[in-house]
Amino acid sequence: MLKKQKALKSKQKKIGRTLIPLFGYKKMNFKNTISILIFIFILGTSFAQVTFEAKVSKKRLGVNERLRIDFVMDKDGDNFNPPTFENFTVVGGPSQSISNSWTNGKRSYSKSYSYVLSPKKRGNLKITQATIEYEGKTYKTSPLNIVVTAAVEVPKDPNDPRYLASQNIHLVAEVSKSKPYLNEAITVVYKLYISEKIGVQNWDYIDTPRYNDFWHQDIEVKELKPERGTYKGEKYRYVVLRKTLLYPQKTGKLTLEPLTLDVSVEVPSGRRDIFGSRIPKIINQRVSAGNRTINVKALPENGKPLHFTGAVGSFNLKVTTNKTTLKATEALQAKVEVSGKGNLKLFELPKLELPNNLEVYEPEHKESVRTNLGGTQGKISDEYTIVPSYSGTYSIPEVKFSYFDVATESYKTLNSKVLTINVSEGPFSNSNSVPVTPNSAATSGNANATNVNKQNVLSRANQFASFKTKTSFVAIQSSSFFKSSLFWILLVIPFLALPIVVFIKKKNHQRSNDVAGNKKRKANKLTRKYLGEAKQSLGKKEAFYNALERALHNYLKYKLNLETTDLSKDKIKDLLSNKNVSQEAVTTFSNLLQNCELARYTPFTNVDMQKDYEKASDIISTIDKQMH
């Protein structure tokens, strides 16, 4: 026993002497040795940790420039979720790339997701975190701050495809009037001018104007019809994208925000195909209509009527009733209607002033208007329901309506006629009421009604005949819930459900332990997911082939129990051939993968994408049937 202790102490001293040159300790006991070994182990494992970071091409740029951002991981992660990019517009990507190499016997691997971004505004903009999963853990990048300055001058290189696109595509906002009056109609027509030197595939709306300080209504563009015109003296094709009617609600200088598009443009490139024809290059070009300033004039104060409510345009006034003779307690309809052209939805109609002994209900407002480039046209009305309580003769005084006529730049006032209502067969005073003439009604106001000795209206026997005033009740028998059929059913259900729950739980447990089956189900699920994404991205080349490639890779990854890094073309061919998959199917599958790689560098049409999608769906089904 003594010999063992001496040997152990001797061994501890040897370990201490070995580590002294490294850490500078003169004396080292066994506990210090263990601590240092643990430290070395932790330090070694820290170098093997997973890294996931975001890299940008520049951290300072002009508002008219773009930046590239790469999310890079040194492992084969899944379920990548990019940031929201709320301060940027994604003009390119996502594109995925994998790098796998061996240097001096060491393996180097990286997987990256790349985007091209265009800033939406100036200032200190933030790119939030991206996430990815690897072996059940979620990894996040650090947020990045990007400084966006005012627009910078872009070098004018005639051979640069982006410069060529910027010189041959223009978005213009045509305003019908730059100095309108308050509440005067103006129109904005957005036209996209395209030179014959380039082609356009499609476009997306990046930012639409909000028209602050304007009442606005979009005018439907039924068909995007290409037309020929000129832009700055040169021949162009153009298409009308959008039409909007505006009514300024504030005086002074008002700014119209720009409409901004992301356009897929085909520009000539220096490459040619085997037949000598030029191969066009497809790029995304951002175009904007620019800000427009509208100087809104205030309506003149000189000559403005007291009862002016803001109507601007050209109008007519009409006051009518559906009857002029009726009995007491009967109802009549009186309508105040304004028709014409102008801001019909932005002013109040004049109110009816009626005698006190006429019962008047809140008016029903109606609109029948249409909107086009000429402005808002049609008619609006308030319809009153009036019920007289006493017999006699009543008058509806004239109604005045004023508006500002833009054509003559002056105020105009319209007057309606005085309307007379005769009420008969109702309660009246001992002396007959004096008839009211239009002149007397206009001067006396409500005095004609007060000269009549009023008498309360007598209720008729059938006045409320349309309402039910009696009810009939039907007796129901009360029943006891205890020991009823429902009681026994509810009591037995839990006992019947218990074995079913146990059976389902057992099946779920067996399914969770079925590793091979779970992999197959996961393969089918991922394949359907990415094929669905590819179908939704038809017409967008990069997004489509990226989703299609992920669908094919994930299908093989779980179907053949492979890692993504092992998916070389030759290995795929050998494995599929060993699984009794026909040579035709193997060749079709390899060609699809090759198309996904070529899509990053060569143009593909919508027809090509549709064919590749159909091939992918068919080949996956074929391999499933043939594989053993």
pLDDT in tens, 492-537: 888 888 888 888 888 777 776 665 566 566 656 666 777 777 777 7
Same fold, 56-149 and 313-450: yes
d(CA 167, CA 196): 12
Q: How many residues in the chain?
A: 628
- What CATH code would you report for 313-450? 2.60.40
Q: Residue 126's closest CA among 144, 107, 150?
A: 144
Q: What is the mean pLDDT of the chain?
A: 78
Buried b (16+ CB within 10 A) or exposed e, 151-165: eeeeeeeeeebbebb
| More confident: 437 or 311 | 311
Q: Write out the DSSP string of 27-84.
A: ---HHHHHHHHHHHHHHHHHTTS--EEEEES-SEEETT--EEEEEEESS--EEEE---
Domain ranges across the chain: 2-46, 56-149, 161-296, 313-450, 515-626
* Among 16-20, 54-58, 298-302, the least confident range: 16-20
Is residue 117 a contact partner of residue 88, using CB atoms and an 8 Å limit? yes
Mean pLDDT of 448-476: 48
pLDDT at 280: 73
Predicted TM-score of the model (pTM): 0.48
CATH T-level assignment (fold) for domain 515-626: Four Helix Bundle (Hemerythrin (Met), subunit A) (1.20.120)
Model confidence band, residue 173 (pLDDT cutoffs 50, 70, 90)? very high
Q: Which fold has domain 56-149?
A: Immunoglobulin-like (2.60.40)
